[in-house]
Amino acid sequence: MSPKTLRTWYLVHKWTSLVSTLFLLLLCLTGLPLIFHEEIEHTFDPHPELAPLDAASPRIDYDDVVARALAARPGEVVRFVFFEKDEPLGAVLSAPTLQPPPENGHIQPFDARTGEFFEPEPPPGGFMYLMLKLHTDLFLGLPGYLFLGFMGLLLVASLVSGVVVYAPFMTKLDFATVRRGRSTRLKWLDLHNLLGIATLVWVLVVGVTGVINTLALPILALWQGGQLAEMTAPYRDQPPLASPGSLHAALETAQRAAPDMRVSLVAFPGTQFSSQHHYAVFMRGATPLTERLLKPALVDAQTGELTDMREMPWYVRTLFLSQPLHFGDYGGLPLKLIWALLDVVAIVLLGSGLYLWLGRRKAPLERRLAELKGGGAALENAE
């Protein structure tokens, strides 16, 4: 590799690492509890106890559930009905308008077998909410998402350039060599390189999926303006409904159209994931992979008839698959433990890189790069 090319790669690695390190440390630190968000939430905010069913137990009527939810929140409208993935629990989300800020919603959980309501959930807050907001958008909304996505791109550039810069040197030592008999800084440099190579694939996977996740809002906007607009085009010129029809009938229609799938979410007419005339019933599969992928069924909110049902486009499916992969949420607790261990290693990697830069020597860059080509102890000066 020519000195000019090596200099370019070195500068790419140096500056992409320096610019992104503090934010990546924040993402690693906040991501650690988020890996175990289900376990933490079940411990400190357990789901309500479900009573056993018997012959006298009522059977759920979703129209009655909606009516009671609205009676408990006078002046509000129902926007969504959610269903838990692993338990027969649902929740009604209502708000003063169909398009309010996210924090203005009220959640009323219910037993999805009988329709019995439980205590309403408190407004978003607490430790896990703080970790989630810092990890996703820094409390800045779309600008925060895009900024952290840019930091993720810098991470990818830093990893690729780091491999290019240090690959020639790594051929001069046995793999996993950490030279302890020299300076402390050289030991940390070897450790930094070792951790970087050992976790390269994992950090790339988490970095790339993180970048994809930061594009969630633009991706959903693209779907709304594309596939959703196409699916609802026949209703475009019709006046909005005064009030929607039976939710229970809409759910039955969607279930008949996809009997091997389960309901995940219902978007009411007038919300951003539906139209003015449809219940959008999002169905999920029953396997660990397909339960991450949603399939929208549009049901005419007045007649209860299915008007369209399609697989989501590739870019939305990519987003749905990236979200659980980013947090290791595919293989249960064992995979989460592995993700957490690798996250701690990444924290050490970032911290050691910052330490090496702060303790760098003052030799000119050209000299350090020339020495880098020789390998050995001269690499200590290459940082």
- Which token pair is 157? 């550039």
360 located within any domain: yes
At CA 296, angle to CA 290 and CA 298, rounded to 5? 155
Asked, for residue 205, whether it belongs to a domain, the answer is yes
Residue 67 within a domain: no
Q: Is residue 109 part of a domain?
A: no
Alpha helices in the chain (DSSP H): 3-35, 37-44, 62-72, 126-136, 142-170, 184-198, 200-214, 216-223, 229-231, 247-257, 314-326, 332-358, 365-374
- In this structure, are residues 369 and 10 in contact, taking their beta carbons and an 8 Å threshold? yes
Average pLDDT in the chain = 86
Mean pLDDT of 70-82: 95
pLDDT digits (tens, 9 = 90+) for 280-315: 999 999 887 788 899 999 999 999 999 999 999 999
Lowest mean pLDDT across 30-44, 50-64, 253-267: 50-64
Q: Give the number of domains in the chain.
A: 1
Q: Is residue 185 part of a domain?
A: yes
In the predicted model, is pLDDT for residue 169 greater than 90?
no
Provide the percentage of residues in the chain whose pLDDT is more than 90: 55
**Would you say residue 44 lies in a domain?**
no
Reply yes or no on whether the pLDDT at 371 is more than 60: no
Kindly calculate the radius of gyration of the chain based on its CA atoms and give it in whole angstroms.
26
Domain encompassing residue 159: 3-39+132-213+331-381
Q: Is 141 contained in some domain?
A: yes
Please check whether residue 186 lies inside any domain of the structure.
Answer: yes
**In whole angstroms, what is the distance from residue 192 CA to residue 189 CA?**
5
Average pLDDT over residues 82-98: 91
Q: Is the pLDDT of residue 110 over 50?
A: yes
Tell whether the model's pLDDT for residue 40 goes beyond 50: yes
Q: How confident is the model over 10-30, as a mean pLDDT?
A: 91
Q: State mean pLDDT over 209-216.
A: 95
